[in-house]
Structure 1
Amino acid sequence: MKFSFPKKVMAAALCVAAFAGSAQAAEKVYRLKMAETWQSNFPIFGDTPRNMAAMAEKMSNGRLKITIDSANKHKAAFGVFDMVRSGQYDMGHSASYYWKGKVPNTLYFTTMPFGMTAPEQYAWFYHGGGQELMDKVYNKFNLMSFPGGNTGNQMGGWFQKEINSLEDLKGLKMRIPGFAGEVLAELGAKPTNIAPGELYTALERRTIDALEWVGPSLDLRMGFHQIAPYYYTGWHEPGTELQFLVNKRTWDRLPEDLQEILRVAMRTAAYDMYIQSYHASAENLEKMLTEYPNVQVKDFPADVIKAMQDANSKLLAEKAAADPLAKEILDSQAEYMKKARHWTDVSDKAYLNNFNAE
């Protein structure tokens, strides 16, 4: 005898099964591993991925848990790109310009000498096509890159000796990454990149003559003022944006709601870092100038700045001529900065000029 369920009963059973399946999926916990370039307990930079992970876990009601390994654990401060690309880690927190030796076009998404300030750059990323261009560079490496926190305008560095002319740059051994290092090399300096945990020792032992790190927000803690009295204002990193890297396969395995939660957590943590960094720089500059009167805050001479600008323009033209994608990125940045800078001048710059005039 053939027995069959009534259609309504069958439909109800299917609905119950579907609901149970979706409920089970909603309860599944996704555990991701992140590698950061920074040492453990490193302030501001290290706070940012932890703030992001905490937000993601809370917003997902515990379904998204991210553990973070610092450089002193994974032993590869500048290996984050490869570790996330290979799937050894699901995510990374670092800076895009560290990968210029592997993928030259990653260089442009951290900051550029004489380029956009932090607000201008955020506007470019989120509304001016910057994120889409970053996607174009990273997608072919099974990676996704997102803005990961901004330091604001960085200082030009700590120097053992005063810079009075272009001659003082010739042969100067300086820790300075990114495109700025190429600019200084054009002027006869010898740029190098050194992991954050090794900077103080390198400057103290005169392995290098000068270094740039960030600004008062982090430099005071590093102790550079104890061994290099000249602290120069910035030109090379007007809006330094760190990055969150995500393995594309990891991203694709996440449900859509967790993808959106992760996206929102990264964006919020990035902006929070900018505010935190600004606050710390304001506090630490005041402390530095009050408690360490040996520190001399100086501007580079006008002829040195002009030579840096000329070298920067020359190198940008060479990069654009050699690579169509580099040209697309650089043209986009230049066009957006022209538009944004006009507003910056009419708003912030005019306000500060008026304020200082009183």
Structure 2
Amino acid sequence: MAADKPIKWRLAETWPAGLPIYSEGSHEFAEEVKKMSNGRLIISIDSANKHKAPFGVFDFVKTGQYEMGHSASYYWKGKDINTLFFTTMPFGMITSERFAWYYYGGGAELAKKVYGEYGITQYPGGNGGNQMGGWFKKEINSLDDIKSLKMRIPGFAGEVMSKVGGTVVNIPPGELYTALERNTIDALEWVGPAMDLRMGFHKIAPFYYTGWHEPGSGLQYMVNDKAFDKLPADLQEIVKSAMKNSAFNISNKMTNAHAENWDLIKKEYPGIKIKTFPPEVMSALKEANKELISDLEEKGGLTAEIVESQREYMRKARAWTNISDKAYLDN
């Protein structure tokens, strides 16, 4: 290809235009690819505002309509249940454990088995860290309070919430505030203080609960395999390197933004009531999660392979987390 004729790709993201950190991250990724390739590969970004299908990114990349996507893997559980495991799982691995599992514990190979069936390769696209349990209009004092809820909560956590009696509603990020305001939902989880405060949820739902459902919430880049294979080898390496840099930068920006905004809550938002779920609720959620994981494992095949891989890796990694980070923090 002539040096003066760049290769042009398009990336579809689930996020609304201008969403801090997440959408910023994909734009910074594209800019890095442009710089590293000396303009030989140009990636344009279409937000959900433009393509109008925030939950259509998987199909966009699968069909080649877009060469890339930036989203979260658990949004595709209705297409393939095995995609769930590559974002986060309730009561599962924290961020550092999840990255280690993906890169060194067999996660990348399992992701290739899952997404390879669709002509896609997925890569880590950042991590939101341990997410908060959500914003609630009313205080949760018992399991009965959960059973009366309509809540936006995606992924496997939605399955868990349904099993304990809640009603789960899946709503695109750009419509969350309106849904809460119009009583379409009674509660929602989004990310954490890094991104929640600017959404204004606290104006309607002042009870802010600590998390259980997304202990290490990984985003993803998806790449169409046919498009990737057509790239020269050096551009392939540039794309992979820029994705890894993007994942690193998004994760660190999230940690910083969580800290900054948590400090703001304490100083400037006295009306926000920080809560933890009662023991009765946590016990019910853990039991429901355990039963649902068991049901998944009974499917056998690749699903059981992924469950066992994550369980075994978490066993090893958590032993170290407990004796290192947790022991230090508990002092």
Question: In which range does the TM-score fall when normalised by the shorter chain?
Answer: over 0.9
State yes or no: 1:31 paired with 2:25: no
Give 1:280's aligned residue.
257
Alignment of 1:313-328 (within 5 A): 313-328=290-305
Give 1:12's aligned residue.
none
In structure 2, the gaps of 5 or more residues are none
Q: Deviation at 1:114? A: 0.2
Look at both structures and tell me which one has the larger radius of gyration over its CA atoms.
1
Give 1:133's aligned residue.
110
Give 1:11's aligned residue.
none
State yes or no: 1:306 paired with 2:255: no
Distance change >3 Å, CA 257–CA 318, structure 1 → 2: same
Structure 1 letter corresponding to 2:229:
D
Alignment of 1:74-223 (within 5 A): 74-223=51-200
| Deviation sequence 1:17-49 (CA, Å, 0-9, x none) | xxxxxxx66665221100001111110110111
Give 1:4's aligned residue.
none
Q: 2:157 and 2:62 mapped to 1: Cα distance?
A: 26
State yes or no: 1:261 paired with 2:209: no
State yes or no: 1:351 paired with 2:328: yes
| Deviation sequence 1:168-214 (CA, Å, 0-9, x none) | 11131000000000001110000111001110011111110100000
Q: 1:29 and 1:206 mapped to 2: Cα distance?
A: 49
CA RMSD in angstroms comes to: 1.1
Distance change >3 Å, CA 26–CA 119, structure 1 → 2: farther
Give 1:291's aligned residue.
268
| Deviation sequence 1:301-326 (CA, Å, 0-9, x none) | 11211111110010000011014111
| Deviation sequence 1:204-235 (CA, Å, 0-9, x none) | 11110100000000000000011111000000
SS of residue paired to 2:274: strand
Q: 1:59 and 1:86 mapped to 2: Cα distance?
A: 27
Give 2:210's aligned residue.
233
- Normalised to the residue count of structure 1, the TM-score between the two structures is 0.91
SS of residue paired to 1:305: helix
Structure 2 letter corresponding to 1:147:
P
- Normalised to the residue count of structure 2, the TM-score between the two structures is 0.98
Q: Deviation at 1:257? A: 1.0
Equivalent in 29, 36, 43 of residue 59 of structure 1:
36
Q: Which runs of 4+ in 1 moved over 3 A?
A: 24-28
Structure 2 letter corresponding to 1:218:
M
Q: 1:259 and 1:28 mapped to 2: Cα distance?
A: 17
SS of residue paired to 1:52: helix
Q: 2:293 and 2:209 mapped to 1: Cα distance?
A: 24
Q: 1:325 and 1:140 mapped to 2: Cα distance?
A: 12
Q: 1:263 and 1:104 mapped to 2: Cα distance?
A: 26
Q: 1:298 and 1:259 mapped to 2: Cα distance?
A: 46
Q: 1:326 and 1:110 mapped to 2: Cα distance?
A: 15
Give 1:21's aligned residue.
none
SS of residue paired to 1:322: coil
In structure 1, the gaps of 5 or more residues are 1-23
Structure 2 letter corresponding to 1:67:
S
Q: 1:262 and 1:26 mapped to 2: Cα distance?
A: 18
Q: Deviation at 1:65? A: 1.1
Paired-residue identity, %: 59
SS of residue paired to 2:117: helix
Alignment of 1:334-345 (within 5 A): 334-345=311-322
